[in-house]
């Protein structure tokens, strides 16, 4: 399925279940999302992470609304707590077969997102691992001089900002050397087409979700 369609489909579903509460719909979305992830052969470790990590937030919401509320409402507590899993699992359904490069290309080609924004997002995502290495190198260099730079140390972040500014300049020069010119039309190396099936699948899913929202509580 087209990455842009998947992303907007998840966004629309998330907005709809936020406006119209329906515990049954939440549970149906969770079940179908889990089935889809299993069909896509998600790793067992990743699946368990998606189940147990959001449980902390879901349990906190449930406990706050049911056990520590002056007027406990079981339905309302379950509805809001299950939304955590809906958001987590639907986003996982998008990311399991779509990487950031494919998504950025789809947004640029299909949604006509400005190329400078698309390439800027890709640059920011790709520079994150380098920034982690740079921060680790800064901390190691400080320890070799007898200076411990803690996680909240302003000196650490000041040095990291200097590294980021230098990396941004190098990145800009690299993009210009590869022929990137802001505002100019660019050729498409890997096209991301929009198929009729994308429209049909998106429409069918939205119709089913809306029917469930208004039929079940």
CA–CA separation, 173 and 115 (whole Å): 17
- Encode pLDDT of 168-214 as tens digits: 677 667 666 666 666 666 666 778 888 888 889 889 999 998 898 88
| Residue length of the chain | 217
CA–CA separation, 209 and 149 (whole Å): 51
DSSP 116: H
- Cα radius of gyration (the chain): 22
CB burial readout 151-162, b (16+ within 10 A) else e: eeeeebeebbee
Instruction: Determine the longest span between alpha carbons in the chain, in angstroms.
Output: 67
Specify whether the CB–CB gap between 83 and 22 falls below 8 A. no
CA–CA separation, 191 and 12 (whole Å): 25
CA–CA separation, 145 and 133 (whole Å): 19
Measure Cα distances from 4 to 95, 107, 194 in Å. Answer: 12, 6, 9
- Encode pLDDT of 17-57 as tens digits: 888 888 888 899 999 999 999 998 888 888 898 889 888 88
- Encode pLDDT of 109-165 as tens digits: 888 777 777 777 777 777 777 777 777 777 787 777 777 777 677 777 776 777 777
- CA end-to-end distance (rounded Å), the chain: 30
Nearest-5° angle of CA 34, CA 52, CA 76?
80
Nearest-5° angle of CA 40, CA 25, CA 16?
95
Per-residue confidence (pLDDT) for residue 182, from 0 to 100: 61
């Amino acid at each position: 399925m087209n990455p842009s369609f998947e992303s907007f489909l998840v966004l629309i579903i998330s907005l709809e279940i936020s406006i119209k509460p329906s515990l049954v719909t939440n549970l149906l979305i969770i079940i179908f999302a889990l089935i889809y992830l299993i069909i896509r052969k998600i790793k067992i470790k990743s699946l368990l992470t998606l189940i147990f990590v959001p449980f902390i937030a879901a349990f906190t919401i449930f406990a706050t609304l049911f056990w520590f509320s002056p007027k406990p409402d079981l339905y309302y507590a379950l509805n809001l707590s299950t939304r955590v899993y809906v958001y987590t699992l639907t986003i996982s359904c998008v990311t399991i077969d779509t990487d950031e490069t494919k998504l950025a290309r789809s947004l640029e080609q299909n949604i006509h997102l400005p190329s400078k924004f698309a390439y800027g997002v890709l640059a920011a995502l790709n520079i994150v691992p380098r920034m982690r290495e740079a921060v680790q190198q800064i901390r190691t260099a400080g320890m070799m001089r007898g200076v411990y730079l803690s996680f909240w140390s302003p000196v650490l972040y000041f040095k990291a900002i200097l590294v980021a500014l230098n990396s941004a300049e190098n990145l800009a020069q690299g993009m210009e050397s590869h022929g990137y010119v802001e505002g100019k039309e660019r050729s498409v190396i890997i096209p991301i087409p929009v198929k009729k099936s994308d429209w049909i699948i998106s429409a069918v899913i939205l119709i089913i979700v809306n029917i469930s929202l208004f039929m079940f509580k």
